[in-house]
Amino acid sequence: MFDRNALPKAVTVYEVGPRDGLQNESTVLPTILKAELIRRLVGTGISAIEVASFVRPDLVPALADAEGLLEELGPLLATHRMSALVPNQKGLDRAMKTGLREVAIFASATESFAKANLNNTVAGSLEAFRPVIQQAREAGFRVRGYISMCFGDPWEGKVSSSQVADVAEKLLEYGINELSLGDTIGVATPGDLIDLLDALDARGISRSLLAVHFHDTYGQALSNTLTALVEGITTVDSSIGGLGGCPFAKSATGNLATEDLVWQLHGLGISTGINFDALLETSQWLRDKTGLAVRSKTAIALMDNDGMVDTK
């Protein structure tokens, strides 16, 4: 029987739409619109937002304006938790010249994706991340770590929990503050998640250090989220409108939609600090102003025929 007493009282919604969401959309938003989206997300009460990525512009053109975007955000960088992805030392060097106080690195649990995304082996990429993490920490940055392909890989199939745990151990040893477990192609089930959490438990990795990052390819993102909550996870990644995918894994569809996540959390009586009506208004603004498709089932259900939000 489902035990509501096992649920956390509060959850941090970690919004990844401005980075992970937009990186795989065919529409490239102007910097001014990205900044407005982030300001609107802040206005909903979302407390953690990944806003940019310091990747090579030719690889991910949608995120080529990182410095300009951060300059546009200005004082918000000092008052809100915002982060940017740094794929290597050059990325960290760029990030350190901005007002950011948090960066993220992106590791892979599988050799195939490490080659496709990082042009390296799993071991080689982890070794390359070591000085980046350590330098960032020494400079006073908080460092978030992602592990992609935690449950399945389009080239290698099902991924063993032990190889994910191996990567997790290394990243935590190098000094990351938080580890997000990514279901990059959306194949995980609640049972797969429990197996992975058990494997991390066996390595002595505290669940207080973990976040979850689900894609909804097989429609399992919300059920996986509920399982994560029961298992003690209190940080969940999501993307406004369900935007996103992965440019290096074509079978990956959109992220768990923030609107759907917050609808579930509030329905369970879990505090998020987010104004749900403001979130829906932001979703509608995103669609109307940018032309991007909103894939959130909750947002779609709460819009009438004129496209106006109706929460009655």
Mean pLDDT, rounded, for 85-111: 96
Q: Catalytic site residue 246?
A: yes
Neighbouring C-beta atoms of residue 104, cutoff 10 Å: 24
pLDDT tens column, 136-177: 999 999 999 999 999 999 999 999 999 999 999 999 999 999
Residue 1, pLDDT score: 57
Indicate whether 308 belongs to any domain: no
Secondary structure letter of residue 11 according to DSSP? -
The mean predicted confidence, pLDDT, of the chain is 93
Q: Per-residue pLDDT for 262 more than 80?
A: yes
Indicate whether 221 belongs to any domain: yes
Mean pLDDT, rounded, for 8-27: 93
> Residue type for 22, please?
L
Q: Per-residue pLDDT for 304 more than 80?
A: no
Strand partners, 10: 271
Indicate whether 228 belongs to any domain: yes
Question: Into how many domains does the chain fold?
Answer: 1
The domain of 40 spans: 4-301
Q: Per-residue pLDDT for 248 more than 50?
A: no
Residue 85, pLDDT score: 97
Q: Per-residue pLDDT for 312 more than 80?
A: no
d(CA 256, CA 253): 10
Closest CA relative to residue 184, chosen from 117, 94, 98: 117
The token duo for 145 is 């770590």
Residue 306, pLDDT score: 54
Indicate whether 307 belongs to any domain: no
For residue 125, give the CATH number of its domain. 3.20.20.70
The token duo for 57 is 């512009």
d(CA 77, CA 100): 6
Indicate whether 209 belongs to any domain: yes
Indicate whether 312 belongs to any domain: no
Residue 244, pLDDT score: 83
Residue 3, pLDDT score: 82
119: exposed, middle or buried (Cβ count in 10 Å: 0-12, 13-18, 19+): exposed
Structural contact between residues 259 and 240, judged by C-beta atoms closer than 8 angstroms: yes
Mean pLDDT, rounded, for 43-56: 96
Indicate whether 295 belongs to any domain: yes
Distant-in-sequence, close-in-space partners of 148: CB < 8 Å, separation ≥ 6: 106, 107, 108, 109, 113, 117, 182, 184, 246, 249
Strand partners, 181: 147, 212
Mean pLDDT, rounded, for 237-244: 94
| Tally of CA atoms within 13 A in the half-sphere of 167 that contains its CB | 31
Secondary structure letter of residue 214 according to DSSP? E
Indicate whether 309 belongs to any domain: no
Structural contact between residues 260 and 296, judged by C-beta atoms closer than 8 angstroms: yes
Catalytic residue chosen out of the listed positions 63, 246, 280, 292: 246
Q: Per-residue pLDDT for 8 more than 90?
A: yes
How large is the angle between the packed helices 258-267 and 276-290, nearest 10 degrees?
Answer: 170
